[in-house]
Amino acid sequence: HTVLHALLDLLNSNPEYTKEIILLINYIAAGGGANSMEIHSALVTTLVNVYIQPRLRDVPMSVSSATTMAEAQSNVIQVSLLAEGLGLFSLAVGGQNFSRSLLRCLYFLLECAGSPLHPLACAGLSAVQNVARACVGGGVTELVCANVDYLSHHITLRLRRANHNPGVLSVLSVVMRHTSIQVLPSLHEIVEDVLVQSCDEFQESNANGFLRVFLTFLTCLRRWQGGSKGEDSCEEPQQSKTILEQLLEYKRCLEVAENLEDDELLEEEINEKIFTSEQSRSEEEPPEEEESKLKKVKPSVMLAVAVLERSLHFLPSKDEQRQILVLDILTEGVLVLRSEEDHLLPIVHKIWSPLVRRFQVSETRPLVIHRAFVLLSTLGNTARDFIRSRTLKQVLPSLCKILQDSASQSLLKDSGSAYRLTQLYKLQRTLLDGLGQLALDLSVQERQIYDILEAAKEYLSVRQPAPLQELCQSLYRQLAFVHRDLVWLQLSSVWSPVSELRHPSSEFCLIKLDTCCSETSEFKRNVSELLQAIDG
């Protein structure tokens, strides 16, 4: 007790040793273990009041003309120690005694936990977990839900002047990340306030913070829906038929058509029955049944639509980080709306033009194209037929060109090359990994499939990095499941073990292949493996 009072006096009189004194106080609080300072609850209340003083916590933590790098780093450590100490105090004094100080420090701790500075965020989250364990005997979610009214009130007040309270966006992100669906009504009002604030042109400096809030909100909505990106359902593509099988099926269809051609009476009878059944069904159905089939739109769906429409306004920004945030928001939002087709398709239509420009603008960086392709793949999996035609005309040529142009950049880049750390390499991996599924989702036909194979064939070279070769092989196998003959033909044009195809029967003419048959070809190993897999 005496030592702590002495340290508090030093804290006021020796500002140059602030961090060291805070660290000592934290050690003393943690030394006795849980409930070790229960009899000194009044002293702990005093410590809490000191720790949350603006002179200690409201210090500059970013480099500016008035703050050096060393000062900023020192301030980050200081605020992290304050957050850590508050968490230790809650354990030392017990939840019942600390509850009187909880509301005074909870907002500050959540602000630390949501900080973009990693050391401060870790310290803040650890402190919030300690407070939750002491006060509610659970985790962060239980603590937030127990105090949601208090947090909603303070967040709403600070959002009205978000330019003077930028930390409120960090608090809101943490609150949404650690809440349950029971507090969704409270979050609706808050997100609506953020939407209003984001329309203020004077809030430009907080735009990225607003977007992070939108992203967290949509991520929470999707989590509450019980879906995840890895669990998205994909229709199993039907295996392709050989040319012989197609011809036999065509012959069977002709025979069936000939048998039915003379049976006009049967056809008339069938048509009459269909007409009668449809007429009776229409008489039985009440006129209001159509209205009853309309789904009742959830408020969360309407709010998600509003968030997506607002986020689209930020996509043309020249700020790369802002573009990436918007693309991530759109990806999450589309997944939230995937079961609400009436709202999904209009949003997809609005997304399309800005999205296409991300692939066509020459100044677009690989990381932005990467996130744009992730969004495109999500659209392909959810909207399918709605975007098929425009994808083939407006986007697929650009994607194929990116693959072709970047193939020369990755040649001879072994595992020790710094190239594998670049965004362009990661983009190559993403395109090779995702183009096959995108083509299957959109039911792309032979002409465009061949374009994809031509764009990817350079990655079958043994001079390409091994991961790119493996992904390219996977792309070929994926497409061969549906278009086996086309893939075989394209592979044979790259490399073939023979220069001519000779049928055992003399009735068929000899076919000469315009291809490479060299045993030293850089494509031989991968192409031969794929040909064996297709023939098998």
Q: What is the pLDDT of residue 199?
A: 84
Residue 37 reports pLDDT greater than 90: no
Q: Does residue 158 share a domain with residue 125?
A: no
452 with 439: CB under 8 angstroms?
yes
Least Cα distance to 140 among 117, 169, 106 occurs for 106
Q: What is the per-residue pLDDT for 517?
A: 63
- Give the model's pLDDT for residue 500: 62
Give a yes or no: residue 508 inside a domain: no
422: left (phi over 0), alpha (psi -120 to 50) or beta: beta
Q: What is the pLDDT of residue 300?
A: 87
Residue 241 lies in a domain: no
Do 130 and 29 reside in the same domain of the chain? yes
Identify the pLDDT of residue 410: 92
DSSP 456-476: HGGGGSTTS-HHHHHHHHHHH
Instruction: Examine the domain organization and report whether 409 and 311 are in the same domain.
Output: no
pLDDT digits (tens, 9 = 90+) for 436-458: 999 999 999 899 999 999 999 99
- Residues 432, 308 share a domain: no
Q: How confident is the model at residue 272 (pLDDT cuts 50, 70, 90)?
A: low
pLDDT reported for residue 518: 67
pLDDT at residue 294 above 50?
Answer: no
Q: Are residues 195 and 58 in the same domain?
A: no
C-alpha span between 148 and 159 (Å, rounded): 16
The whole-number pLDDT of residue 76 equals 96
Do 82 and 52 share a structural domain?
yes
Cross-strand partners of 386? none
For strand 500-501 and strand 511-512, is the pairing parallel, antiparallel, or unpaired?
A: antiparallel
pTM of the model: 0.79
Over 70: is that where the pLDDT of 331 sits? yes
The answer to whether residue 524 is domain-embedded is no
Give how far the C-alpha of residue 397 lies from the chain's centroid of Cα atoms, to the nearest Å. Answer: 25
Q: Tokens 């509450």 map to which residue? A: 224
Asked whether the predicted pLDDT for residue 285 surpasses 70, the reply is no
Higher pLDDT, 204 or 19: 19
> What's the mean pLDDT in 52-81?
93
- Give the model's pLDDT for residue 231: 42
Is residue 346 included in any domain, yes or no?
Answer: no
Residue 79 sits in the same domain as residue 159: no
Please check whether residues 50 and 197 belong to one and the same domain.
no
Whether residue 1 is contained in a domain is answered as: yes
Using an 8 Å Cβ cutoff, are 123 and 84 in contact? yes
Bridge-partner residues for 500, per DSSP? 512
Most confident of 180-194, 204-218, 261-275, 473-487: 473-487
Residue 441 lies in a domain: yes
**pLDDT band for position 516 (50/70/90)?**
low
Q: Which amino acid is at 300?
A: S
Residues 334 and 373 in one domain: no
Closest to 529 measured CA to CA, from 501, 494, 486: 494
Q: Is residue 193 part of a domain?
A: yes
Q: What share of the chain is helix, strand, coil (3-state, %, to 5)?
A: 75, 0, 25
The closest of 51, 143, 141 to 95, measured between CA atoms, is: 143
Q: Which residues pair with 463 in a beta bridge?
A: none
Report for 52-56, 516-520, 521-525: range of highest mean pLDDT: 52-56
- The DSSP output letter for 228 is -
Q: Is 299 exposed, middle or buried (0-12, 13-18, 19+ CB in 10 A)?
A: exposed
Q: At what angle are helices 446-456 and 423-441 packed, to 10 degrees?
A: 160
**Which residue range(s) make up the domain with 20?**
1-146
Q: How much is the pLDDT for 228?
A: 40
Is 94 found in the same domain as 209? no
CA pair distance 464, 458, nearest whole angstrom: 8
Question: Which of 22-36, 75-89, 257-271, 374-388 has the least mean pLDDT?
Answer: 257-271
Give the count of domains, the chain. 3
The candidate with the shortest Cα–Cα distance to 371, out of 423, 418, 406, is: 423
Do 328 and 428 lie in one domain? The reply is: no
204, 306: one domain: yes
> In whole angstroms, what is the distance from residue 112 CA to residue 115 CA?
5
Q: Residue 234 above 70 pLDDT?
A: no
Q: Is residue 536 part of a domain?
A: no
